[in-house]
Chain A
Amino acid sequence: MVLDVRGLTMDFGGLRAVDQVDLQVNEGEIVALIGPNGAGKTTFFNCVTGMYVPTAGTVTIARPGTDARQITRMRPHLITAQGLARTFQNIRLFPEMTVLENVMIGRDCRLSAGILGAIMRNKKTVAEEKQVVLDSYAMLEIVGIGRWANETAKNLPYGAQRRLEIARALATEPFLLLLDEPAAGMNPQETRDLVALIRRLRTDHQLSIFLIEHDMSLVMTLSERIYVMDYGKLIAVGDPGEVRRDPSVIKAYLGEDVSA
């Protein structure tokens, strides 16, 4: 088990956005979290990645082959260092930096060069710098936006920006990747490419993937397990088939006619 969340609760003033959620992701698994708008999915992500400090509950992670450790209340950059990486629902790139530099920032947390190294530019730093450029470029190629490497990030079309977010997250060498609505703003063809990409990421990089999505075609084809939230609470868990048939899910979320 790479992620184990127990009893996670998050309050905003009087509003309970996440309510006693238990959730697990196993090694190598692709897990989806779905639910109506405002159900608390993004908030749940934010609690796991340290952006919000949860009101209650624990978050435990374990990099495959190592011991589990608690990351509740840890600061976000430390959580990233532990091997969790995420993308944002409302894209948050470094808009004025180039595409390549965006990825390099992600890569940087795995480097060691400090201020002195930067000024002296010793052998080690130079080698490291060169490697960063190459690694980062490789990430761009993985998600298929290598040709935009020196473009300013904000000028990329929406879909490419989403991919850049994924590349940047990958660069931090995570073992668990959290994607918040990766397919939003993509057309069906692009969504299919994305599905292929995510599958490949799992196999090539030994990743576990945990994603939020409203595009049912993606969710149903990709995920092995699906959690469903409504009003902050889990209302269903299961494989795609089970969830699709679950009456409470149909009522709260899918509607009668699911064209997927």
Chain B
Amino acid sequence: MLELSAVNAFYGRIQALKDVSIRVSAGEIITLIGANGAGKTTTLMSVSGIVRPASGAIMFEDRNLNEVEPDQIVAAGISHVPEGRRIFPYLTVQENLDLGAYLRRDRAAVRTDLDYVFELFPILSQRRHQPGGTLSGGEQQMLAISRALMARPRLLLLDEPSLGLAPLIVQQIFEILGQINRENGTTIFLVEQNAYMALRVAHRGYVMENGSIVLTDDSTVLLENEQVKSAYLGV
């Protein structure tokens, strides 16, 4: 479904991605783990067209995304929960969610999806008319995830969704991810620091170091890998 082949990306003179190749098949959950500054965020940004690779190709269902504008990439069915949440601070929670469904025309379905996310995160429905900027950190994270869900993407890119969330909610988030993957067939590309949880929900995983992919395998295998254990699982 999504294929990055030998992607290189730069920030000015700093090379953030070195020959990164990643393949995501339809219906799969894959996770990308790695230390701070490894280049995970950059990888996701290059998929959604915010960072432009200097070389290499990003293919989404036989379409080369290298030159496609970000809004067209969204229209193609990719939705991205970026690092740092990026809630619209002066729009209300409701309006933030509406914008999630910006490209959708099926009003009735949008309404059911809205009910669905409010059910997932009841606190959001309580805060419905509050400006997004005044939410607590965790509430903002919930809103960011919900907003992406509202787009009903076929491919969901998530950058550290568990950041700043209470343990109870973290568990819940990962359950939800599994659930929408199973029920709606949404493909998920997950970047996480909480490698243990991520690998448990994902089918396959990639490990990134200093901008390069150093390891990839089924997540059950990675969970047992000594190197991964010591570096990322903290055991």
Contacts and interface: CB of A to CB of B under 8 A. Distances in A.
Tell me if chains A and B make direct contact, with any CB pair below 8 A. yes
B164 to A, nearest CB: 5
B139 to A, nearest CB: 5
Contact of A185 (B142, B167, B193): B193
Interface in B123-163: 123, 127, 134-139, 141-142, 160, 163
Contacts of B38: 157
B234 A187 contact: yes
Contacts of A35: 166
A37 to B, nearest CB: 2
B175 to A, nearest CB: 11
A89 B36 contact: no
Interface stretch (A55-63, A127-135, A250-258): A250-258
B195 A187 contact: yes
How many residues of B sit at the interface, in one of the four size bands?
Answer: 35 or more
Given A253-B166, A253-B167, A157 B36 contact: yes
B72 interface: no
A98 to B, nearest CB: 15
A112 interface: no
A231 to B, nearest CB: 10
A255 B171 contact: yes
Contact of B137 (A37, A156, A157, A188): A37
A182 to B, nearest CB: 11
A155 B138 CA distance: 25
Interface stretch (A20-28, A76-84, A166-174, A189-197): A189-197
A188 B195 CA distance: 8
B11, B33, B35: residue with the most chain A Cβ atoms closer than 10 Å = B35
Contacts, number: 102
Contact of B135 (A38, A155, A160, A253): A38
A257 B231 CA distance: 23
B171 A181 contact: no
A189 B230 contact: yes
A90 interface: yes
A186 interface: yes
Interface of A: 12, 34-43, 89-90, 155-160, 181, 184-192, 214, 216-217, 252-255, 257-259
21 contacts: A12-B134, A35-B166, A36-B168, A37-B138, A37-B164, A89-B137, A89-B164, A155-B11, A159-B35, A160-B37, A184-B164, A186-B36, A187-B33, A187-B194, A187-B234, A188-B235, A189-B35, A255-B168, A255-B171, A258-B167, A259-B196
Interface of B: 11, 14, 33, 35-38, 83-84, 123, 127, 134-139, 141-142, 160, 163-171, 193-196, 230-235
